[in-house]
Chain A
Amino acid sequence: MKAKKALSHLLRWETMLVVLLVALWLVFDAKDASLQAAKLAKGRKATDVFNFTKMLNGMGPYLLYSFMALGMALILGMGDIDISVGAIAALSASVMGTVYGPFKKVMAPGLALALAILCCVMTGAACGFLNGFLVTRFRELFPMIITLGTQLFYRGFCYLLLGGETLQYKDDTVWVGFKKLYNGSITLGDLSIPTMLIWFLLLAAVFFVFLHLTTGGRKLFAIGTNRVTSRYSGIRVDRFELSMFVICGVTSALSAMFYVGSVSATVRADAMVGYEMYAIAVAVLGGFSTGGGKGNIIGLILSVIIFGVMKKGLGTVFGLPDSTVNLAVGAVLIVFSLLPNLLEDLSNFRRLRRQHAQAQLK
């Protein structure tokens, strides 16, 4: 019964996300059409600003935080939070860049890059481990506070490694070639699909299987629903939670890898500031509440797309400044996240009134 209810909830949530996506798309498309008409009327050349091709081709910058959002989904599902993922990514990128330079002097550049990427992922895992260790060992502290601390720590470490310098490998053929391999685009006629999108969907599929089709996923949501009962039911809560934090760290490192590949192969200590907030926002809109115990990867994928479409559309068709776009996105996030609660309140209110009326009839 409960499972059925949960399922219907999920379906409802994903349907709502699809409705939101379609609505946004229609609004942007209509606005775009009216802009074009206005330009043509004035005898100007009109550009089709918002369409499927442009949206797909330009999805890249809005996918950078999608990997860490997957990791964040695990953390939120357990009722924890990790606000250090942006700093973890920056540190992983810094390590990757710092290590590559000396390595390629002593070995084949391809091997050096492979090692650098390995170091990048290991850094993410190590940071995640530290987070998980602190969170599970010091239960009296909120994960928010712990990861706030580690966020500052990791960010500081980036500056220790790089200072104010920008590492760049744009002239390095191996680095650039490899970057194109994992972070280029696949051309299909007019479309040039960012490879990042395909990687994200593949990884999301893995996460879907884990979260919704294995015992691991059930454990995770059990912990998120009630940690104490989970422990008494035989789940090794601390160990499980720790390993989820490690996975979250690794996904942050993956985001870092794509970030390094996306912006002309440069690494800076102040990279990806604020990405943790994007990751949390994407996961929450996708249906993972901070209370834990629920969420669906399908919703998260939809949410990644919605964020991309919304930011792109507001930025181009409506011409809003980049900083103002975030304001609009934030507003949609709050309203939309509150919607189920409001609906529930409404139905509760109706039921009470009905019961009241029935009682009076008797």
Chain B
Amino acid sequence: MKKILAIVLALVLSLSLMAVAEKAGEGLTIGIVYKQSGNAYFQAGVDGFAKAAEELGFEFVHDGPEDSSNDGQERIIRNYIDMGVDVLCISANDAAGLVDVCNEARAQGIVVLSWDAKVDAEGRDLDVEPAGAKAIGVQQLESIAESIGYEGQLAIVSAGATAPNQNLWIGFIEEELKTNEKYSKIEYLGVVYGDDDYTKSYDVTKSLIDKYPDLKGLIVPTTNGGPAVAKCIMDEGKVGQIKMTGLTLAHDMAEYIKGGVADATFLWSPIDLGYVTAYVGVAMVNGEFKAEEGTTIDVPGFEGLEVIPSDDGGLILYLNKLFGFTAENVDDWIDIL
């Protein structure tokens, strides 16, 4: 009798072990620390973690200081270390300020990832970020090219003439226009600058439209310029003839996207970012993935993500996929971005 009982018990135990082993993140806890509590952007990020948690079976805790302070984040991180989390995913208020506490965590075998806002290279295992400069530029170009049928006049309405991010992206757009055959029928007119000012952006767009009656496409790689350009296209009665795209916030652009000024505008999605970060963290704890230059990881919907060296001498992983706001989905994002 005892033997049978023992066998049954052993069977049950092994079955339950097998059931546990089904999901990669079972039994793991992820501690998510973001810049500030009550911030819709980071709540969306946590939604991404939650989505991954459903698929991988890990548990997570999340918190941010109410005052966006560095010491508040340090306090939370220390609590999470005490609670015995396996992974820390941190969006840092101060890249340098958290290095010490992060290294304490790593000394205890905790995987430390930064997401959205980095922790300095010496305090993290890997930084997970939305997109590299090239991907940001090329994805906007591809979207507008599709909207205008890969031919016609195209111009860019940028922020300031010296804005470093915008110039980097525009550099990649121009290179792609020159080198990629499929854009050969697009006539590139150049860049005008709206200085991230609503009125100025509106005015330079208006003079562009007046000067080039056949203008078909506009790229606006700055969130402050987008609504002004869209309003101008609408006021000039050019909806349908001129299309735009760019990096914009959803709530700024919702009415224009639905009004047909743009087929899609872009920004990174915090949901995707949280989702991928969670997958990376779990894979690193399980030893399936190491953060070394050149290693790759497959996340559902994001295949072949590669670890590359970052500017600060550490390692970084880009999702390289911006999220497109379209007439169908933009309303869901109004409260978030």
Interface residues on chain A, size class: 20 to 34
Are B84 and A274 in contact, CB atoms less than 8 angstroms apart?
A: no
Are B96 and A168 in contact, CB atoms less than 8 angstroms apart?
A: yes
Q: In the complex, what residues of A have CB within 8 A of residue B70's CB?
A: 263, 266, 268, 271
- CA of A274 to CA of B100, assembled, Å: 23
Shortest CB-to-CB span from A280 to chain B, Å, is 17
Please give me the residue from chain B that is nearest to A42 by CB atom. B27
Within 8 A of B (CB), among A311-347: 311-312, 315-316, 319, 321-323, 326
Are B65 and A323 in contact, CB atoms less than 8 angstroms apart?
A: yes
Are A263 and B79 in contact, CB atoms less than 8 angstroms apart?
A: no
Within 8 A of B (CB), among A280-327: 311-312, 315-316, 319, 321-323, 326
Within 8 A of B (CB), among A26-80: 43-45, 47, 49-50, 54, 58, 61, 64
Q: B329 an interface residue at 8 Å Cβ cutoff? A: no
13 A-B residue contacts at CB 8 Å? A47-B82, A61-B74, A168-B96, A168-B97, A262-B71, A263-B71, A263-B98, A268-B70, A268-B97, A312-B79, A322-B37, A322-B64, A323-B37
Q: In the complex, what residues of B have CB within 8 A of residue A64's CB?
A: 71
- CA of A319 to CA of B65, assembled, Å: 14
- CA of A322 to CA of B71, assembled, Å: 11
Q: A270 an interface residue at 8 Å Cβ cutoff? A: yes
Shortest CB-to-CB span from B286 to chain A, Å, is 15
Q: In the complex, what residues of A have CB within 8 A of residue B96's CB?
A: 166, 168, 170, 264, 266
Other CB < 8 Å A-B pairs besides A47-B82, A61-B74, A266-B96, 5 of them?
A44-B27, A264-B96, A264-B97, A315-B75, A322-B37
- For the complex, count residues of B whose C-beta is within 8 A of A: 30
Q: Among the listed B66, B71, B99, which residue makes an inter-chain contact with A61, where contact means beta carbons less than 8 Å apart? A: B71
Q: B83 an interface residue at 8 Å Cβ cutoff? A: yes
Q: A154-195: contact bitstring with B at CB < 8 Å (1 yes, 0 no)? A: 000000000000101010000000000000000000000000
Q: Indicate whether A322 sits within 8 Å of B27 (C-beta atoms), given known contacts A43-B16, A61-B75, A264-B99.
A: no
A interface secondary structure, majority = loop
Are A322 and B82 in contact, CB atoms less than 8 angstroms apart?
A: no
Which positions in B face A, CB cutoff 8 Å?
16, 20, 27, 37-38, 61, 63-67, 69-72, 74-76, 78-79, 82-84, 94, 96-101
Q: A273 an interface residue at 8 Å Cβ cutoff? A: yes
Q: Indicate whether A273 sits within 8 Å of B83 (C-beta atoms), given known contacts A61-B78, A315-B75.
A: no
Shortest CB-to-CB span from A86 to chain B, Å, is 11
Q: In the complex, what residues of B have CB within 8 A of residue A58's CB?
A: 78-79, 82
Are B97 and A322 in contact, CB atoms less than 8 angstroms apart?
A: no
Shortest CB-to-CB span from B152 to chain A, Å, is 43
Are A263 and B74 in contact, CB atoms less than 8 angstroms apart?
A: yes
Are B27 and A45 in contact, CB atoms less than 8 angstroms apart?
A: yes
Within 8 A of B (CB), among A238-297: 259, 262-264, 266, 268, 270-274
Are B83 and A322 in contact, CB atoms less than 8 angstroms apart?
A: no
- CA of A134 to CA of B301, assembled, Å: 64
Q: A191-226: contact bitstring with B at CB < 8 Å (1 yes, 0 no)? A: 000000000000000000000000000000000000
